[in-house]
Structure 1
Amino acid sequence: MIETADHGGIAVLTLANGPVNVLDLELLSAVPEVLASVADARAVVVTGGGRAFSAGVDLKRIVEGGPGYVEKFLPALSEAVLALFGHPKPVVAAVNGHALAGGCVLAAACDVRLMSGGTIGLTELAAGVPFPTVPLEVMRHAVGPALDTMVLRAERLPAGRAAEIGLVHEVVEPDRLVTEALRRAEELCAVPSDVYAFSKRQLHTPALERVRAFQASDDVEVLRMWSSERTMATLRGYLASLRRP
């Protein structure tokens, strides 16, 4: 699900879940576990294997698994995003292709985001599902006022447009992407690790306070809507539309 490699004390984590690295229960559950296993690394780089960073939630699994699967999936999604967002060391996303919906959120949870191509965006409303609290607040932290448009229009942004709104920090040629991500991670490692962790925690406090304030109530409603028969019917139609030529 997630391949790990060491580059001079920097852990490179490569999502490896099929050709477009869809997010399912197993991959999301692996994120906190893998981050814990590389806790001694000086920094982390996250990228995708194949042609995409992550095309987002495995909607087919949602439909097939129904409410029972959704009840496990949504907390796993929030926990994976929080694990990346709260990792005390520098975390750099090397976005090597499409990063959509949950894939966009995983990238946004990283400290620095580099992108080499494809599109990035929040397509949840196009699929008829709302945002859990954690993904929404992490996205708010990443893009600020641009969040309203990203959520409500459900657009897929090219790398250049994503850079304009601060979602991506730099657009990089594909053959330089991982090398540049490692260089950025190395630069961040120049800060004493305790100072970096403390500063990161300070910056994240407003987002985490909003999570604490709203998650208990809002995520009950999120679970209800994700699990409803209306949503399942919408997702079946959405999946069918993606298969049409």
Structure 2
Amino acid sequence: MGEFVRLEVDGGVGTIRLDRPPVNAINGQVTAELAEAASEAAERADVRAVILYGGEKTFCGGADVKEMSTRTYVEMRTFGTRLQTTVAAVAAIPKPTVAAITGYALGGGLELALAADRRVAGDNVKVGQPEILLGIIPGAGGTQRLARLIGPSKAKDLVFTGRFAKAEEALSLGIVDQVVAPDDVYSTALAWAAQFAGGPAVALANAKAAIDGGLDVDLASGLALETHLFTALWATEDQKNGMRSFVENGPGKATFEGK
């Protein structure tokens, strides 16, 4: 357990909790601890789904600008690479992930949320990529994941202007998937994540790998990847358990009984 980032596991769901008041700003230590938490969540068999959460007040206000402002070019190259690698590790967790967004998700905070498979936000949330107002650009995947998620034109508007989008606009743009009352953010994310606690872990990992991997290649390559990951499941208990339940119980009544 780190000083600012910890993994809390309960009922098959792992919560990666940012806890660096007042806004969970990302510095070198947070980056290192986040990488450790992502690796642990990926490897632990008792973690079947993951929630990214910054607490009731705010998800993440972005990188620690005060710390960054004193870095040299060489130092920033090292830190920037490490931060992007860490966010990529979160995105690569081979389990369903959901960001529970409260307060603000700005800069690196939004980039971290974009690394999740799904985003639930409070109706008072503001999101944005305000790096341009500091004379820089997003450096932890914002120019890439945001454009892939909502399209280049809409992503350019947010990145070029640095403006904040409120919850309803973020929902209409497709940045977040669900908007709820602020007090319901974590419980809503937990309800989504908990449905996978007893699910087919290997099949879910392969489904995520097929979708994510297919986004970066042409259709033919994506289909080849899908075929490989599809047929590979015949060597797993997931396939045996799922199909046995279907045969025994019939369509609409089958239940997955994997471990």
Are 2:204 and 1:196 aligned? yes
Unpaired runs of at least 5, structure 2: 219-259
Tell me the amino acid that sits aligned with residue 22 of structure 2: P
Q: 1:171 & 1:133 partners in 2: Cα distance?
A: 24
Matched residues in 2 for 1:186 and 1:98: separation? 25
1:19 is matched with which residue?
22
Alignment partner for residue 194 of structure 2, among 186, 194, 199? Answer: 186
TM-score, with length taken from structure 2: 0.75
1:12-161 alignment runs, 5 A limit: 12-38=15-41, 39-40=43-44, 41-49=47-55, 51-116=57-122, 117-132=124-139, 134-145=141-152, 146-161=154-169
In structure 2, the CA distance between the partners of 1:72 and 1:94, relative to structure 1 (3 Å rule), is same
Cα separation, 1, equivalents of 2:63 and 2:215 = 23
State the shift of 1:83 in Å. Answer: 0.9
Structure 1 stretches lacking a partner, 5+ long: 211-245
Contact 1:143 1:165 survives alignment (8 Å): yes
Q: Distance in 1 between matches of 2:198 and 2:180?
A: 22
TM-score, normalization by structure 1: 0.79
**Residues 25 and 72 in structure 1, CA contact (< 8 A), matched pair in contact too:** no
DSSP 3-state at the match of 2:70 = helix
1:110-136 C-alpha deviation (Å, 9 max, x unpaired): 011001123101111121102337442
Tell whether the 8 Å contact from 2:56 to 2:183 is kept in structure 1 after alignment: no
| Residue identity matched to 2:194 | E
In 2, the alpha carbon distance for the partners of 1:133 and 1:48 equals 18
Question: Could you give the per-residue CA deviations for residues 202-241 of structure 1, whole angstroms, max 9, x where no partner exists?
Answer: 222255569xxxxxxxxxxxxxxxxxxxxxxxxxxxxxxx
Q: Tell which structure's C-alpha radius of gyration is larger.
A: 2
Partners of 1:10 and 1:137 lie apart in 2 by 28
Q: Which has the higher helix share?
A: 1
Instruction: Give me the CA root mean square deviation.
Output: 2.1
CA–CA distance in structure 1, aligned partners of residues 51 and 163 of structure 2: 26
The 3-state SS of whatever aligns with 1:94 is strand
Report if the CA contact (8 A) 2:107-2:138 is conserved.
no
Deviation per CA, 1:16-44, whole angstroms, max 9, x where unpaired?
A: 12210111111112222112222320111
Q: Which has the higher contact order (CA 8 A, sep 6+)?
A: 1
For residues 87 and 101 of structure 1, the distance between their equivalents in structure 2, rounded to whole angstroms, comes to 21
Q: Percent identity?
A: 27
Q: What SS is found at the alignment partner of 1:53? A: coil
1:113 match: secondary structure: strand
- Residues 187 and 172 (structure 1), Cα distance of their counterparts in 2 relative to 1, 3 Å cut: same
Q: CA deviation at 1:151?
A: 1.3
**2:244 aligns to what?**
none
Q: What is aligned with 2:251?
A: none
Tell me which amino acid in the other structure corresponds to 2:137: P
- Distance in 1 (CA, whole Å) between partners of 2:103 and 2:216 is 29
Report how far residue 189 of structure 1 moved: 4.8
